Amino acid sequence: MPGSNTVRILDGNTFVVCEDTGDIEATPSEPTGLFSLDTRYLSKWVLTVNGERLNALSYDDLQYYEARFFLVPGMATHYIDAKLSVIRERAVGGSFRETLTILNHDEKAVDLEIRMDAGSDFADLFQVKDEILNKKGEHYAEAESDRLRLGYRRGNFRRETLVSANQPARYDQRGFAWSIRLEPNEQWDAVIDVQTFAIGPGGRDLRMGLRAHGTERLALQHDLEEWISRAPKLNSEHEQLAATYRRSLVDLAALRFSPLSLGGQTLPAAGLPWFMTMFGRDSILTCLQVLPFAPEMSKTTLRILGALQGTRFDDFRDEDPGRILHEMRYGETAAFEEQPHSPYYGSVDATPLFVVLLDEYERWSGDGALVKELERECRAALKWVDDYADLLGNGYIWYERRNTDTGLENQCWKDSWDSISYADGTLPPFPRATCEVQGYAYDAKMRAARMAREFWGDPTYADQLEREAAELKRRFNNDWWVADRGFYALALDPDGRQCDVLTSNIGHLLWSGIVDDERAPKVAEHLVGPRLWSGWGVRTLAEGEVRYNPIGYHNGTIWPFDNSFVAWGLRRYGFAEEAATVANGILDAATYFEGRLPEAFGGYQRELTKFPVEYPTACSPQAWSTGAPLLLLRTMLGLEPHDKHLAVDPRLPVGMGRIEVLDIPGRWGRVDAFARGRLDLDELAD
């Protein structure tokens, strides 16, 4: 995995990960290179001057899509008073463009041989992630008079990288070079274009017409400015909060991409580097987080997920009628069904969450037309919950993969192999039913009842859904409650035995509303108690559990997205002080990551570390981590749709200073009260 000296720039699911010199020397197991549509288009991109590598002085991360590198020839041992400066300026927008600038600071002319070694292994991102580069097709490299063409073909699957420059160069199969003479104080520039092609039938690029916000630097800059201008304005005396807010908006812009099946419209990719594609669960939860700030993402996400909803029984893809997809991939291994993500449906939470998002979106936007448009998809999703997800016929959502070779074992959000366990640390058999998914199902039924009554003209169906939800809540509170420990079990096994470990999942139960009111105080107490609460955030698994590990992926780390829904759930049940505690911890942690929260960080007690310890292979930026500060801000403000005023609970965090949220566009209709909201947290605390 790239270390701290790596540079990342991205535009949707096209991204570059490189060294701090700008060079790329990829290995089969490292996600370095130029990637697009789950394929690595450049695995080698190394600049030399007179045969010497360059040494980095510094680099600037200018915007999410561009970076600038300041270099000198040679290694650090002999570049003092260097006579040459080299600047590499790179922008990515679909493909990428690099500008080379070389300056001669010497008193005499110099002759220079400038060379760029270029190559591509056309690795599938899954092959890189699994550290298995097993190519079954044909590579080719063609040096033409004015360009270098690198390619890979396997049957109808074909990918190409085309490299050219505005300065005449000598091209060979391994790269290209210039021989130049620079006079004293003279400057030389060259612009290199690297274009990527996913070639389909007829020789056309499969992505033609998909660019939603341009490929040139000025177009990208204009689009970013427009994106930020459309979002609410946040003025805060707490400078770090304001910086985190802006960072979240910029990273959301960076993660937008256009799926092949929805030309020109964008939704959030899940996270760099491994998940730069559409994920049902991640996209939905991100949209829920950012609804008051970027509502257009929800409409696109709902439409594309509805369009790709399951229609058949397919064991390879774990597909059922009505099921919402888990993940969509576009690389070689998906094209040849070496893995099932074309798309893959192996998640049990995306389907009820699809219904939740549609209702929440309408509450904020007033877009009843979309609720009517997606009625059939909503009904199909609810039918999946009742008919196909209830594997044991007892009214709960269960999961067990049918694709036992390449399907996911755990199909909840904690999807690592060892994330579901009993208190003694052993793993339960399948099928499994996790607690938070039952909460999502309850919430989906309650929300669908409202939509059925108000938009679908079906009060009988609405009454039925409410009865089913009430019965689910009653039975859940009997079957999942661990009476002697005062919390809800993580899961049930097929015999009804509880996985009686304390986890952050109980916060999601508060968010869904499935928790009985008399039990909510005990749940809140656990969430901010010493076993789950680290000082930075709520751990995924409580300290003291057998499988607890502060850097275990789902067994003790802190996930910012998880904490944002925990805080939202606490606030829903009236625990504003506890919600503020969670919000403060996560927002404090954000300052140590320059406002960009990673996918996860260590669950160590805050007193042990001066700063939060990042999980070693965490995605960054990641969509639902990027959305976490926005949901936490909404939670702290106590803002809900339909509010006629800003209802503020006085038990809110001290030290945030004055926060003003201003200038929400009129298209938000019923929530324009938010535009006038002003909240002085210090005064309220007094």
Listing DSSP states for 548-597 in one string gives --TT-TTTT-B-HHHHHHHHHHHHHTT-HHHHHHHHHHHHHHHHHTTT--
Residue 656 in this model has a pLDDT that exceeds 50: no
* Planar angle of CA 655, 660, 665, nearest 5 degrees: 150
For position 660, what pLDDT does the model report?
57
pLDDT recorded at residue 685: 31
495 is written with which tokens?
């015999």
Q: 208 pLDDT band (50/70/90 cuts)?
A: low
> How many Cα atoms are found within 13 Å in the side-chain-facing hemisphere of 275?
21
Identify the pLDDT of residue 665. Answer: 38
In this predicted structure, the answer to whether residue 674 has a pLDDT above a threshold of 50 is no
Please report the pLDDT score of residue 672 as a whole number. 29
Bridge partners, 197 (sequence order):
160
DSSP 621: S
- What token pair was written down for 427? 């793993």
Q: What is the pLDDT of residue 30?
A: 86
pTM (global) more than 0.85? yes
Burial class (CB in 10 A: 0-12, 13-18, 19+), 557: buried
Nearest-angstrom CA–CA distance, 211 and 509: 39
pLDDT, residue 192, reads 97
DSSP state string for 311-346: -S-BTTTTB-TTPPPSB---SHHHHTTSS--SSB--
> Each residue of 230-278: pLDDT tens digit?
888 887 777 888 899 999 999 999 998 887 765 567 888 899 888 988 8
- 458 vs 634 pLDDT, higher one: 458
Contact present, 423 and 545 (Cβ < 8 Å): yes
Q: pLDDT tier at 427 (50, 70, 90 boundaries)? A: very high
Q: What is the mean pLDDT of residues 408-434?
A: 98
What is the maximum span of the chain, computed from C-alpha positions, in angstroms? 89
Mean predicted confidence (pLDDT) in 534-542: 98
Region at 74 (left for phi over 0; alpha for psi -120 to 50; beta for the rest): left
pLDDT band at 216 (very low <50, low <70, confident <90, very high): low
Q: Of residues 365 and 650, which shows the higher confidence score?
A: 365
Angstrom distance (rounded) from CA 240 to CA 420 = 36
pLDDT of 117: 98
What's the pLDDT tens digit per position in 344-360? Answer: 999 999 999 999 999 99
Instruction: Point out the least confidently predicted range of 72-76, 188-192, 227-231, 545-549.
Output: 72-76
DSSP-derived 3-state class of residue 383:
helix
Q: What is the DSSP letter of 52?
A: B
Residue 102 has pLDDT above 90, yes or no: yes
pLDDT band for 209, please (50, 70, 90 cuts): low
CA distance 316 to 336: 13
Residue 3 pLDDT exceeds 50: no
Model pLDDT for residues 278-294, shown as the tens digit of each residue: 899 999 999 999 998 88
**Going by C-beta distance under 8 Å and a sequence separation of 6 or more, which residues neighbour residue 3?**
none
CA–CA distance from 446 to each of 45, 357, 439, 461, 468 (Å)? 54, 12, 11, 11, 9
DSSP code, position 232 = P
Give φ, ψ of 668 to 5 degrees: -80, -10
Q: Which residues of 610-620 are buried (b: 16+ CB within 10 A; e: fewer)?
A: eebbbbeebbb
Q: What is the pLDDT of residues 6-61, one digit of tens each?
A: 889 988 888 999 999 999 999 888 889 999 989 999 999 999 999 999 999 998 87
pLDDT at residue 426 is higher than 70: yes
Q: Who wins on pLDDT, 215 or 521?
A: 521
Strands (E), 242-310: 256-257, 267-268
C-alpha span between 638 and 580 (Å, rounded): 11
pLDDT at 572 over 60: yes
Residue 218 pLDDT: 74
* Cα–Cα dist 152/161, whole Å: 9
Q: How many whole angstroms separate alpha carbon 350 and alpha carbon 357?
A: 10
Is residue 375 classed as helix, strand or coil in its secondary structure? helix
Are the C-beta atoms of 159 and 198 separated by less than 8 Å? yes
What average pLDDT does range 634-655 have in this prediction? 52
The whole-number pLDDT of residue 586 equals: 96
Mean pLDDT of 584-598: 95
**What percent of the chain has a predicted confidence (pLDDT) above 70?**
89
Cβ–Cβ under 8 Å, residues 276 and 269 = yes
> Token pair of 204, please?
């056309």
The structure tokens 């505005």 sit at 166
**Above 60 in pLDDT, residue 668?**
no
Cα(87)–Cα(71) distance, integer angstroms: 6
Q: Any idea what the Cα angle at residue 392 is, between residues 387 and 395, rounded to 5°?
A: 60
| Length of the chain measured in residues | 686
Q: What local confidence, expressed as pLDDT, does residue 219 receive?
A: 79
User: What is the pLDDT at residue 367?
Assistant: 93
Q: How many CB atoms lie within 10 A of CB 501?
A: 26
Q: Which pLDDT does position 655 carry in this prediction?
A: 42
Per the structure block, which two tokens stand in for 359?
A: 């209702």
Distance CA 657, CA 140 (A): 60
* Cβ pair 406, 339 in contact under 8 A: yes
Q: What is the pLDDT of residue 454?
A: 97
Average of per-residue pLDDT across 624-634: 95
Distances in Å between the Cα of 124 and the Cα atoms of 134, 197, 234, 676 are 9, 14, 41, 49
Total Cβ atoms within 10 A of residue 238: 18
pLDDT at 525 over 60: yes
pLDDT at 2 over 80: no
* pLDDT recorded at residue 296: 87
Q: Which residue has the higher pLDDT, 382 or 78?
A: 382
In this predicted structure, the answer to whether residue 637 has a pLDDT above a threshold of 60 is yes
Tell me what the pLDDT averaged over the chain comes to.
89
Contacts of 27 (CB under 8 A, 6+ apart): none
Which range is least confidently modeled, 155-159, 217-221, 240-244? Answer: 217-221
Both tokens of residue 487? 């919390």
Helix H, strand E, coil C: the string for 429-458 is CCCEEEHHHHHHHHHHHHHHHHHHHHCCCC
